[in-house]
Structure 1
């Protein structure tokens, strides 16, 4: 017998396979959820991504107010043409996209590795008038080619120059504050008297574009300059320079006063005087650098050499006169030579020294 299927009981429904519509609905729901998640992810990414910053305003014609307080000058070295300085520099400006205190660099540093710079504030202060303010303390050695023509009656100008290392004169210029320069009232530089300090602004033109094809053939930068004029006190240095020399000249003049018969003594006196002048000059030159010109004290010593050598020449001449039996003539020559050589020597010293005094 063949088996027959039994009909379903009352109230029961046969399980129906899922229809296409149901499947489509499920997929739609899943799609809605997935789409929502994608939108949320995109929104989160959009929030996480930073917005583009506004472009910085170009820097053109910016004015920076600058000034200086010279705290100390130390160890002026003539041999290296350098000196140590301790100076405070202040800057005031309005543009917020640059910091002239950080971009400042010195134009005449010496031993740059030894320079120390400190800002008074980590960040520039903002003043009530909208300006930004910063103070920089700089310590180090600076170079200045010192003219020594009038040494030891020379007058010198020590200076410190600085400029911006990034912005040229079309972008930024310095303006001197009022007052622009102050000097520590207790500042002392041994061996020198200090005159009134000066502060000036100029434009420095470089005969190069430093390889930057974007610029012209020349670059110009605004430069600030601090000047401290100094001079040596004249009276003490005149005494130090002339007293040893005049003592030698006085001894050398004794050659003219000895009798012509004392030839050996007269010659020895002249040679000793000459060697003494040489020793004095060599001692003095130890404090000076190697220079290719004569300084004032060199000229004084050269005049002294000539005086002593003239005296030795007179000794030789009067010795011959004495040997020829012309004793009276030898005495007259001695006296006349002493008068003339001394007058010429004194006039030469006066012409060298008087224009430098005052």
Structure 2
């Protein structure tokens, strides 16, 4: 009798386990167009995108579940125009299962959080985040349908080759799977308070065309710092000339940064171009302090030490500038998106 009961319980457990087994939704996108407008005076963290999407899943025994399965939410989307183009049913000979194929077209604005730390050498990631709206991850998992791109002629996964974004180059794309845990059951007492939903991110990686931006910043800064560098060749006794050069250089550097501020994104942190400007401020100020100091050494009849200090500054000043600016540029170039 006990053996029979044990076998019955085991059978019920197996049925229950199979009933709750996780199914897979294969999902993919193909991007037709991207519009990204950067506005420096206001924080712009949106991009407009036009793309096709599709999904493929096993036909559920309860056909009413199809509506729940196809209810996919674009988590970071706004002002969306989404329509289903077609729905087909077919038999998958490889798995021996009846499958459902749904495809549609989406256009709208999507929110992203740009990382401008290395501007103008920055790389941006534009995400499309999809999530099952009603079905928890224990029941359905969103999986990237990468097999659909195997015969594609495009060199970047899921991106049309003719897309052009001003000031940027599309360098790659990637899918990332994940889960979103909600610390609530949204008032539905049938569930626990830690609900998990399957998420799939399709990320488009952009790299700024930085040469033009670097030239706009670096050439004027090099000329300004070179003008301040000339103070090390001015005799220590001619304080007025030396101070005039450094003050003019400092004011010119400040004016340049204010002029370029209209093209630089507004952020709450220091970006690479800010660091180059602040380095210039520091070096110009040091040149001014050194000029005043050597002038005082000259007045105290310490001409030899003043001359040695001038010669040392002629080497230290450009070496610091070149090393630190190169470090900032290389770090930005090698940064990961």
TM-score range for the pair, normalised by the shorter chain length:
0.7 to 0.9
Runs of 5+ consecutive residues of structure 1 not aligned to the other structure: 1-57
After superposition, what is the alpha-carbon deviation per residue over 1:175-234, rounded to whole angstroms, capped at 9, x for unaligned?
322136521011122222212211233332222222322211211111121011222245
- Secondary structure of the corresponding residue to residue 119 of structure 1: strand
Correspondence for 1:75 among 29, 33, 36: 36
Distance in 2 of aligned mates of 1:222 and 1:273: 57
- Secondary structure of the corresponding residue to residue 183 of structure 1: coil
**TM-score, normalization by structure 1:** 0.74
Distance in 1 of aligned mates of 2:69 and 2:53: 8
Distance in 1 of aligned mates of 2:85 and 2:276: 51
Residues 29, 54 of structure 2: 8 Å contact kept: yes
Correspondence for 2:49 among 85, 95, 98: 85
- Secondary structure of the corresponding residue to residue 36 of structure 2: strand
Q: Specify the alignment match of 1:149 in structure 2.
A: 117
Q: Specify the alignment match of 1:50 in structure 2.
A: none
Runs of 5+ consecutive residues of structure 2 not aligned to the other structure: 1-18, 93-97, 150-156
Q: Specify the alignment match of 2:256 in structure 1.
A: 280
Shift of 1:266: 2.0
1:136 aligns with 2:104: yes
User: How well do the aligned residues superpose, as a CA RMSD in angstroms?
Assistant: 2.6
| Count of matched residue positions in the alignment of Structure 1 and Structure 2 | 295
Residues 77, 83 of structure 1: 8 Å contact kept: no
Q: Specify the alignment match of 2:229 in structure 1.
A: 253
Computing the radius of gyration from Cα coordinates, the structure with the larger value is 1
Q: Specify the alignment match of 1:64 in structure 2.
A: 25
Distance in 1 of aligned mates of 2:279 and 2:215: 17
Q: Specify the alignment match of 1:174 in structure 2.
A: 142
Distance in 1 of aligned mates of 2:225 and 2:166: 31
1:295 aligns with 2:263: no
Q: Specify the alignment match of 1:19 in structure 2.
A: none
1:117 aligns with 2:117: no
After superposition, what is the alpha-carbon deviation per residue over 1:263-293, rounded to whole angstroms, capped at 9, x for unaligned?
32321221121122222333444432231x3
After superposition, what is the alpha-carbon deviation per residue over 1:84-139, rounded to whole angstroms, capped at 9, x for unaligned?
11121102232332236851111112xx2x22212214xx2334554332222111
- Secondary structure of the corresponding residue to residue 149 of structure 1: coil
**TM-score, normalization by structure 2:** 0.78
Residues 101, 134 of structure 1: 8 Å contact kept: no
Residues 101, 136 of structure 1: 8 Å contact kept: no
Q: Specify the alignment match of 2:12 in structure 1.
A: none
Distance in 1 of aligned mates of 2:164 and 2:215: 22
- Secondary structure of the corresponding residue to residue 321 of structure 2: helix
Q: Specify the alignment match of 2:315 in structure 1.
A: 339
Shift of 1:68: 0.8
Distance in 2 of aligned mates of 1:199 and 1:71: 17
- Secondary structure of the corresponding residue to residue 311 of structure 2: helix
Aligned counterparts, 1:22-101, within 5 A = 61-77=22-38, 79-93=43-57, 94-95=59-60, 96-97=63-64, 98-99=66-67
